Amino acid sequence: MTSRLRLTLTAASISLALALTGCATSGMGSEAVPPVGVVTGGDAGAGTSGMTDSMLVDGKSAIDTSSTTVVDRSTIETAYLSVSVSAPQTSVTDAQRIATEAGGFVQDSSWNPANQYGPESAYLTVRVPVDKLDAVLAQFGSLGKVDSLSRSKTDVTLTLTDLNARVASLQQSLDNLRTLQAQATNVSDLITVEAAIASRQAELDSLLAQQTYLSDQVDMSTISLTLTGSTGATPTNNTFWDGLVAGWNSLAVAGSALLVAAGFVLPWIVLLAVVAGIVLAVIFAVLRRRRENPSSGSTKESSSAGTAAKTPTKK
């Protein structure tokens, strides 16, 4: 039973590997996902030359239009819109309302006030259903004057097709492995099957996450909206009063800076004063001692001279 189970498990792994390899390379084959307008009828084994010879019959196309299949393409649509408005903050509220009414939402937003470098502005990233994209762009444009608009599409049909096929293969493999797990008769076989299930499940979870992300990008379009104020900041110092106010403000800033500098220097001044006091005390002590030493020496000399004068001279 153990050998049979291992053989069955090995065969299932080989089948899964072949299935995944076929899915990965399906984008390069002629039978993977036919582009729009490709004829799918006719003999599948016919060569290219045979199809070329049958293209025209008596100057007319020999292709039966009833056998033409149009593939439902999966595309990610994005748009970049810049609008000049009178009040960006009010327009942000209006944009949020428009997105909500269309079944979308504002993913993120930012706001910058007017300054000397530019006017007030706001930036929003909006997600809306793909079938409401045109209507939402028109409503955003009505908020003010449209400065620029650009749109792009990214075709992810082959990627989604490959993901769907790989997910289906892994799910089938997991079902087979769980069947083998139920038939396991010893601990060794059970551990082997459980390890294979864990590996397949991790790969399946990763593919499902990619599938969910791509499906969300296809279903919901992304709009990058920029709302810019019509005027920038009003320049200052146009009148005497403006100049006086600017001068007073600069004086206040300078005074604050001086106070900060004084507070920074004050501890150092106190420390230097203490050190200077100690040095001056030492210097004064040394000078006083020097003054006292010469006076004592002169007193001794005068007393010696007086004693010599009083002593009589022997004849």
Q: Which of 95-104, 157-166, 293-302 has the lowest mean pLDDT?
A: 293-302
Residue 10 and residue 107 in one domain: yes
Tens of pLDDT, residue by residue over 246-256, are 788 888 888 88
pLDDT band at 24 (very low <50, low <70, confident <90, very high): very low
Residue 134 and residue 43 in one domain: no
pLDDT band at 25 (very low <50, low <70, confident <90, very high): very low
Residue 115 in contact with residue 47, Cβ under 8 Å?
no
Tens of pLDDT, residue by residue over 164-220, are 999 999 999 999 999 988 888 888 888 988 999 999 999 999 999 999 999 999 999
Residue 75 in contact with residue 155, Cβ under 8 Å?
yes
The number of distinct structural domains making up the chain is: 2
**Which of 188, 219, 234 is at the close of a domain?**
234
**Section 268-279 average pLDDT:** 90
Residue 169 and residue 41 in one domain: no
Tens of pLDDT, residue by residue over 288-301, are 888 877 655 555 55
Residue 136 and residue 190 in one domain: yes
**Which of 219, 234, 249 is at the close of a domain?**
234
Tens of pLDDT, residue by residue over 59-72, are 444 444 444 555 67
Residue 141 and residue 44 in one domain: no
Residue 91 and residue 198 in one domain: yes
DSSP string, 36-71: TT-B--S-TT--HHHHHHTSEETTEE---GGGB---
Predicted local confidence at residue 295, as pLDDT: 56
Predicted local confidence at residue 189, as pLDDT: 85
Which domain does 92 fall in, by range? 1-32+74-234
Residue 259 in domain: no
